[in-house]
Copies of this chain bind each other. A is one copy, B any other.
Amino acid sequence: MTRSHTPKSLAVLLRARMYADPIPSPPPAPSPPASPDSSAPPAAGAASVRHWLHASVSAASPSPAALDCFSDGYRSLDSRGRHEILRSLATDYDVPRARLHDLMLQYVSVSTTGEGGDEQPGAEREEGGAASALYRMERGLGDALRPKYAGFLEAMNAQPGGLKLLAVIRADLLALLGKENAPVLRALDGYLKEKLVTWLSPAALALHQITWDDPASLLEKIVAYEAVHPIRNLIDLKRRLGIGRRCFGYFHPAIPGEPLIFIEVALLKDMATSIQEVLWDDPPIAECEAKCALFYSISSTQPGLSGINLGKFLLKRVIDMLRRDMPSVQIFATLSPIPGFMQWLLAKLASQIKLAETELQEGNSLEGASSTFRESILLPEEEKIIHNAVEQVNDKQGIELLQDVLKSSQWVKSDKLSAALKSPLMRLCSRYLARERKRGKALDAVANFHLQNGAMIERINWMADQSEKGIKQSGGIMVNYLYRLESIEEYALSYSATGLIHGSPGMS
């Protein structure tokens, strides 16, 4: 039932899993009869899918039968065949540029001669004719800017099973873009993503509390898709749906029986400091004593919906619902992984070690004259403690020792090493979360997710996730993001406008 979870840390939380639906092996090609030469390209299937694609895209309103044939055919293709279809879709049915160009020349000439740069035509003008013509031309331009595949995608979405197929198509497209980053494919992805955002508008999604009374076919999906803290067995699942816990899913009517995203919540006395106490400490407290709703896992199920923030609205609605049902709950917080911390730290250490070596070779080792790219990763006292803790005697620098120690996960087993690393790792993790940026936003994907939703960074917790994965991705540190009800909107706005990260006084 459960699939193995590779530690693709960025994919783990708040994004879809990186692998698409298992692709069924293609059925025997219908015609021509299967060639015994297995090295021949398996093009027959793709050719028939291309046929249905063309039939659907060319029609004013594509026939449901043609769309169904396309869907079935597409699903039966292997990834090579699917990629061929996607290239054809993007390239052969692109924006009608010649028409667009003509319409623009026409518009520019009319609006230049007729308008004299007038910004607002409609209301004030006495004669509505010219304004009508302008709006008509703008509508025509909007149509000409739509790629020819636009109607096909719309019609597919209206078909039973169509939305799911479009999610599969986008997952395939993202995989193809990973190998082949062509502008025409990016344009298809951009268009499809924009449409999916509209179709998956929160208004169309239904919030449902998932319980032990739900069908096994649904619960099976929760087990399969839980990406943060894998569900070990039925007892584990039952516990997560039982007293003191909640699980909510966001469902779309066109994809029944399968949440697009789901969130797991623990009802606690206070904000938890380790995943241990959330998941495995028994018994849970009585629900009436709960003061804190702790979100400890959010998982997406559709890789094709990557980059579409469904979690934001899910969180909002879950908070609203919990507030209504449990007025005693006052604290809404997460206990979240920090998927990018160790990767960032190891890269930082490696580059600093390299810089130091280069300077040494160039004889530029005079204090004060060191490269402006050098920075002190460790404080002097931290360096001393690490030196003392590493029993092996050598003349390595503190950052080299740190690199050596972190590269294996063995340090966790030594109390001495753990104690020595706690202070520098906590300090560096705090800096990583609160200050490291990528295009003005938090570098860490999970941090970025919660900050854009209006959370603040409340606290980081040492040895909060001692699983192998936890040690590997963040040295076992986890973070509490806090949703302060009175500040959610303000924080979300200031983060999106200026990248301002709110943290408790301890976070820097």
Contacts and interface: CB of A to CB of B under 8 A. Distances in A.
Interface of A: 60-61, 63-65, 87, 90-91, 94-95, 97-98, 100-101, 104-105, 107-108, 111-112, 115, 117-123, 128, 131-132, 134-135, 138-139, 141-142, 145, 154, 157-159, 162-163, 181-184, 186-187, 190, 198-199, 201-206, 252-254, 313, 489, 493, 496-497
A414 B13 CA distance: 78
21 contacts: A61-B493, A64-B489, A65-B489, A91-B123, A97-B121, A101-B111, A101-B117, A122-B187, A123-B182, A123-B184, A128-B183, A131-B182, A131-B183, A131-B184, A132-B186, A134-B183, A154-B201, A198-B198, A204-B204, A204-B252, A206-B253
Contacts of A183: 122, 128, 131-132, 134-135
A101 B104 CA distance: 9
A16 B154 CA distance: 24
B61 A496 contact: yes
A123 B93 CA distance: 12
Contacts of A157: 201, 203
A345 to B, nearest CB: 33
Contacts of A118: 97
Nearest to A181: B128
A407 to B, nearest CB: 38
Contacts of A181: 128
Contacts of A95: 138
A263 B112 CA distance: 52
A60 B489 contact: no
A186 B123 contact: no
B203 A201 contact: no
Nearest to A146: B142
Contacts of A64: 489
A44 to B, nearest CB: 23
A154 to B, nearest CB: 8
| Centre residue among A90, A98, A184, A203 by max chain B CB count within 10 A | A203
A123 to B, nearest CB: 4
In this complex, the member of A115, A122, A163 whose beta carbon has the largest number of chain B beta carbons within 10 angstroms is A122
A100 to B, nearest CB: 8
A493 B202 CA distance: 34
A125 B90 CA distance: 14
Contacts of A121: 97, 184
Task: Select the residue from A90, A95, A131 with max chain B CB neighbours within 10 A.
Answer: A95
A104 to B, nearest CB: 5
B111 A94 contact: no
Contacts of A135: 183-184, 186-187, 190
A316 to B, nearest CB: 8
A349 to B, nearest CB: 36
Contacts of A60: 496-497
A203 B162 contact: yes
Residue among A97, A117, A163 with max Cβ neighbours from chain B (10 Å): A97
Nearest to A496: B61
Given A190-B139, A493-B61, A123 B87 contact: yes
Contacts of A497: 60
A120 B108 contact: no
A203 B104 contact: no
Contact of A94 (B87, B105, B120, B199): B120
